[in-house]
Amino acid sequence: MHIDAADGSEDVAEAIRATAADTEDAVRDTQKDEAMTRQALDLLNSRRNDRYEAAVRALREDTQQWWADTLARDPAELEEDEEPFTADAEGLRRFLEVEVLPWFEARKKELANRSLIREQAFGESLDPDKLERLGRYEVHLDRKLERTLAMLLRLKDLRHGAIAG
């Protein structure tokens, strides 16, 4: 199976370097963040007078920053058919449902596939054809080293013979 992280959601190097413990931590962190986001959605669906403000406060800090950055975007940056988000309960709900929740789904897939990414990366680095070529170079270099050492030993013997004689 070929895993492609070209969508930019996770750096392949991060997936390769991550240990099982790192992945478990990332899964727990993602679950906690998603729970906070779902709590914010519940607040948005409540009858509270301050539901928008309460929902924003319920979001994790980096999600709050993402929301602020989204609101601050220049309307000229939007795609042709993209509607700008508004700083109200409906705008936040749409942002969470259209942007944030799909991000969680993609992140969970990335984390679930980390082991496959590692397997593919290490499998490609241990390509038998590449290893065969490296093995030939190693044999070639071993022989050169043996010849060089033999030559040095002969030169040493000649030198000692010249000094003794």
Is 7 contained in some domain?
no
Residues 63 and 34 in one domain: yes
Residues 155 and 95 in one domain: no
Is 107 contained in some domain?
yes
Is 88 contained in some domain?
yes
Structural domain range at position 161: 128-165
CB within 8 Å of 87: residues ≥ 6 apart: 52, 71
Indicate the pLDDT class of residue 11, thresholds 50, 70 and 90.
Answer: confident
* pLDDT tens-digit map of 121-148: 777 666 666 677 778 888 889 999 999 9
Q: Cα–Cα distance between 94 and 100 in angstroms, integer? A: 9
Q: Is the model's pLDDT at 9 over the cut of 60?
A: no
Domains identified in the chain, total number: 2
The per-residue pLDDT of the chain, averaged, comes to 86
Q: CB count, 10 Å around CB of 33?
A: 18
pLDDT of residue 76: 82
* pLDDT tens-digit map of 12-32: 778 888 888 988 999 999 999
